[in-house]
Structure 1
């Protein structure tokens, strides 16, 4: 009976040749679907395969869903409590690696200013954007003197706060904010002033993954520049938002 060894996560099977002096590698159906998802850059499918076949990855997502939004210490503490019931163990490094890959595969996001993880909502259902935007605006508004408040607030800070509260992707925030501003002229104002030194406030960069070198390899990246990006309207970048009238609404497209 030929020797067969299966590697848990990618499901790679190893068979000896007929001569028995060498080995060749073949993939199972699961492995083929995993590779095909990478070739087509279907990162959601890649995440789904890992969720099904990687106990560490699935445990990370299940635990995050239970305690989100959560910082690294909270996640690790809960995973350590659960590991007594399983043969799997976790430490700070492994949790960070799992979180990085879940972020690259667009399954989770991490607040670039607080470091808290949360699972993103993959649906396109309507959301109470205006209410949450105003709540985040109020929480971020800084007192600058007696009865004086900072009117123009950083869009990157608002983006991270709103996305964490709603579990929405950053690009959906950008699109909806532009729609709200266009539909509420005079009530909201975008400012094009660039952010000077605010980038240093972003402790964490956005992690991404893409195919590279003609598709033979995948590459990963991390950048705080994306965190500190503004929104674009009529080919102009805006980095700050001011609220003059709180009676704002937005017509959202049907999913």
Structure 2
């Protein structure tokens, strides 16, 4: 049944969550699911088939028609979402979904990688596999990974990479200076003490260190606090280009105020600066390169 389709169906995390909740207490027909989720029959059917393929739902053939109910795996997934345990939800999908698991395995093997590089690699590796990928499939599993925090995507280059650690290395200040210099050269300005974009520095350093954006912000906050007079932060006008990115930063949270368990998913294309004392700073300049850094002091 569900194994007939080689590619992944375009199903969001929010829809998977709603479906497992709808079918949790009693089995439901596709028509009932369609009405409860307020979606078309085609969309309801696609969601049911993908959720069944990855083991979140089981299928039961009654006298009249097929019915679907949440499995123990689906219940664990739903519990993880309710508790906002995104790492656990990520692990469940990585094990159960052949497409998502393969995608993460590829990034574990070589990242950062562009969408085209991933597709080229998978085309060779999955030549004799019953599963296959296309551009939409990469976008779907990439969306899952970004929202669950297992991977990140550079908001300026579009390259995917695995988030390996919650901490930055002890030599963070040296990595910071190297990327600052590279970005300064890219900007085409030879003058030192130039104010450079914090969002661009964040994306470059997170990709290089494979760390989360939150870890970078904590480390940069520590660096600024320990090097007053050596580093200088600057705000920005409302329309500054420093806030704009090519791609959005994808996030997920448990939705409030609804009897149906669902998720609130945002794609934020306006980049955040570095928050200090309730103020957002978008630019940074280096005045003295003899920097100190205490790991984990602000993480």
**TM-score, structure 1 normalization:** 0.88
Corresponding residue number in structure 2 for 1:130 = 173
1:220 matched residue in structure 2: 265
Structure 1 residue 11: Cα displacement: 3.3
Higher relative contact order (CA 8 A, sep 6+): 2
The reply to whether residue 156 of structure 1 matches residue 199 of structure 2 is yes
| Distance across 2 between alignment mates of 1:12 and 1:81 | 31
What TM-score do you get using the length of structure 2 for normalisation? 0.75
Gaps of 5+ in 1: none
Q: Pick from 112, 115, 118 the counterpart of residue 75 of structure 1.
A: 118
**Residue in 1 that maps onto 2:93:** 50
**Cα–Cα, structure 1 residues 89 and 208, in superposed 2: closer, same or farther, change >3 Å?**
same
Counting only pairs closer than 5 Å after superposition, residues 183-194 of structure 1 correspond to structure 2 as 183-194=226-237
Residue 9 of structure 1: aligned partner: 54
Q: Deviations over 1:34-90 (max 9, x none)?
A: 111111121111110011111100110111122211111111111111111321111
- 34-43 or 123-132, larger mean C-alpha shift: 123-132
Count of matched residue pairs:
245
Contact 1:133 1:162 in 2 (8 A): yes
- Compute the RMSD of aligned alpha carbons: 2.3
Alignment of 1:63-142 (within 5 A): 63-124=106-167, 126-141=169-184, 142=187
Compute the displacement of 1:24 (Å).
4.8
| Cα pair distance change 1:111/1:197, threshold 3 Å | same
Question: How far does residue 13 in structure 1 lie from its aligned partner after superposition?
Answer: 1.6
CA offset at residue 200 of structure 1?
Answer: 7.7
Paired residues of 2:253 and 2:265 also in contact (CA < 8 A): yes
Q: 2:101 and 2:114 mapped to 1: Cα distance?
A: 18
